[in-house]
Amino acid sequence: MRRTLVIALFLTALAVPSFGQSNWGLRTGIGLEKSISKGLNASLEARLHQTDDFRTTDRWSIGMSLSKRLYRNAAKTFNVKAAVGYKFLSVYKGWSTKFKGDSTLIIADGMEPLFYKKRGYDFNYYDTYTQLRHRLTASVQASYELGQFKFSLREMYQYTYADSTDYTVYRFRYPSQEKDWTKKGYTEVPSEKYYRRTDIDGKAASCSNVLRSRINIDYNIPHWKYDPFISYELFNNIDNGFKAEKSRITAGVDFSFKKKHDFEVAYMWQNQHDDDEPAGSFICLSYKFNL
């Protein structure tokens, strides 16, 4: 019965429609947690994320947080805690392409460069780059235990500052009777029968404010160390009138070893790609050591 429950939980998560998203990735984390005093804990965590069907490491991060229990009833079934945190992120952005030819043609962006070259289409190639970000969070979470179930609601404010960064743009143009590309700084490449210009472009520094709302359900299976959970999280863009921009569903199991080693294995599905994270399905693995 217990194993059936865990398997059913995973199948429920995997059955969530992906709206055409086929990307798979990996999200890993390793951390330390220390109890400073009763109800007050400090933690450190390092994370590594992969995407593009496990082929690309798109970010790594290191962060720290401090959490404090604000209230717990006498029966210890209801508690409220608050937390603050800081995270430093290094985010990798892969190459991209953009069609720059005849606007009357319906040609997709994002194709391989060879696609445009074979057809003689003008296009831009934007090279890969890395952007550094700084993230501050503040959250409040309320949890209630009912029998073997534990229900929790967390509201988190997230502020992210992204540093400015530069990247290279390669512009490819093909011979045209109407345009003399050499007058615009392009160099002819006779062997390939096109003109090319290399520019340095960049992204200005920016900041974002997001409210993350998450509900979580845990089930404590008696006399079994694997506890299943499922959660739903919604990301609301404060800068855009609290618009709900993306959501994620996570399902997995938690288990501990000798009260010092905490493990989590889960599947996560995110419905929307944005400048912060890719969409798709992710395998999540994490480990925490309690000092």
Q: Which 3-state string (H, E, C) describes 56-93?
A: EEEEEEEEEEEEEEEEECCCCCEEEEEEEEEEEEEEEE
Give the Cβ contact number of residue 240 at 10 Å: 12
**Spelled out in words, what is the top-level CATH class assigned to the domain 2-94+130-164+204-290?**
mainly beta
> Residue 180 above 90 pLDDT?
no
The Cα 273–Cα 291 span in angstroms is 37
Give residue 21's pLDDT: 55
Contacts (Cβ under 8 Å, ≥6 apart) of 263? 254, 255, 256, 257, 286, 287
Nearest CA-CA partner of 233 in 255, 253, 211: 211
225-264: pLDDT as tens digits: 889 999 999 999 999 998 988 999 999 999 988 888 999 9
- DSSP H helical ranges for the chain: 2-14, 113-119
Q: Side-chain half-sphere of 104: how many Cα atoms within 13 Å? A: 0
Distances (CA, A) of 116 to 96, 122, 180: 13, 7, 20
Q: Of 25 and 1, which is predicted with more confidence?
A: 25
For residue 97, pLDDT over 60 is answered with yes
Q: β-strand 280-290 against 24-37: which pairing, if any?
A: parallel
Higher-scoring residue by pLDDT: 13, 291: 291
Instruction: For residue range 128-142, list pLDDT tens digits in order.
Output: 999 999 999 999 999
pLDDT band at 221 (very low <50, low <70, confident <90, very high): confident
Q: What residues have CB less than 8 Å from 245, skipping those under 6 apart?
A: 235, 236, 237, 272, 274
For the entire predicted model, the pTM comes to 0.84
